[in-house]
Amino acid sequence: MASVSVDEAMRRAIELAARGLGTTSPNPVVGCVLLDADGEVVGEGFHAYAGGPHAEIVALAQAGHRAKGGTAVVTLEPCDHTGRTGPCSDALVQAQVARVVIAVPDPTPVAAGGAATLRAAGIRVDLGVRASEAENGNVAWLTAMRRGWPYVIWKYAATLDGRSAAADGTSMWITSEAARMDVHALRATVDAVIVGVGTVLADDPRLTVRNLRDGSLAIRQPLRVVVDSAGRTPLDAQIRDAAARTWIATAAEVGAGPDGGVDLPALLAALHAKGVRAVLLEGGPKLAGAFLAAGLVDRVVGYLAPRLLGAGPAALVDAGVTTIAEAIDLEITDVTQIGPDLRITALPRKREG
Ligand X SMILES: NC(=O)c1ccc[n+]([C@@H]2O[C@H](COP(=O)([O-])OP(=O)(O)OC[C@H]3O[C@@H](n4cnc5c(N)ncnc54)[C@H](OP(=O)(O)O)[C@@H]3O)[C@@H](O)[C@H]2O)c1
Catalytic residue (choose from 56, 133, 331, 352): 56
- Give the dihedral of Cα atoms 21, 22, 27, 31; nearest 10 deg: -20
Q: Closer to ligand X at the Cβ: 134 or 290?
A: 290
Phi then psi dihedrals of residue 189, to 5 deg: -95, -5
Complex with ligand X: residue 114 or 261, whichever CB lies closer? 261
Q: Which is nearer to ligand X, 35 or 287 (CB)?
A: 287
Can you tell me the distance from the alpha carbon of 283 to that of 319, in angstroms, rounded to the nearest whole number?
13
The candidate with the shortest Cα–Cα distance to 289, out of 243, 245, 320, is 320
Report whether 79 contacts 54 (CB < 8 A).
yes
CB of 230 to ligand X, least distance (A): 5
Cis before 173 (ω within 30): yes
- In angstroms, what is the minimal distance from the CB of 62 to ligand X? 44
Decide if 135 is catalytic.
no
Q: Which is nearer to ligand X, 30 or 158 (CB)?
A: 158
What is the DSSP track for 299-329? EEEEEEES---SSS-BS----S--SGGG---
Site residues for ligand X per CB under 6 A = 156-158, 164-165, 169, 171, 174, 195-199, 202-203, 227-230, 232, 257, 261-262, 264, 282-287, 290, 313, 317
Instruction: Quote the CA–CA distance of 174 and 171 in Å, as a whole number.
Output: 6
Q: How far is the CB of 329 from ligand X (least distance, A)?
A: 21
Q: At closest approach, how far in Å is the CB of 152 from ligand X?
A: 13
CB 26 within 8 Å of CB 66 = no
Shortest Cβ distance from residue 186 to ligand X (Å)?
A: 13
Cα–Cα nearest to 78, from 28, 113, 41 = 113
In the complex, the smallest distance separating the C-beta of residue 291 from ligand X, rounded to whole angstroms, is: 8
CA 267 from centre of chain: 17
Which residue, 20 or 196, has its beta carbon nearer to ligand X?
196
**In terms of C-beta distances under 8 Å and separation of at least 24 residues, what long-range contacts does 124-128 make, across chains too?**
124/98, 124/99, 124/100, 125/99, 125/100, 125/101, 126/6, 126/99, 126/100, 126/101, 126/102, 127/77, 127/102, 127/103, 128/102, 128/103
**Alpha helices, DSSP H only, in 110-215?**
114-120, 131-137, 139-147, 177-187, 197-203
Complex with ligand X: residue 156 or 247, whichever CB lies closer:
156
Asked whether 168 and 174 are in contact (CB, 8 A), the reply is no
Task: Report the residue number, 27 or 233, with the smaller CB distance to ligand X.
Answer: 233
d(CA 282, CA 145): 23
In the complex, minimum distance from the CB of residue 270 to ligand X, in angstroms, rounded to a whole number = 13
Q: In what order do the strands lie in the sheet with 124-127?
A: 41-46, 31-35, 71-76, 99-104, 124-127
Indicate which residues carry an active-site annotation: 56
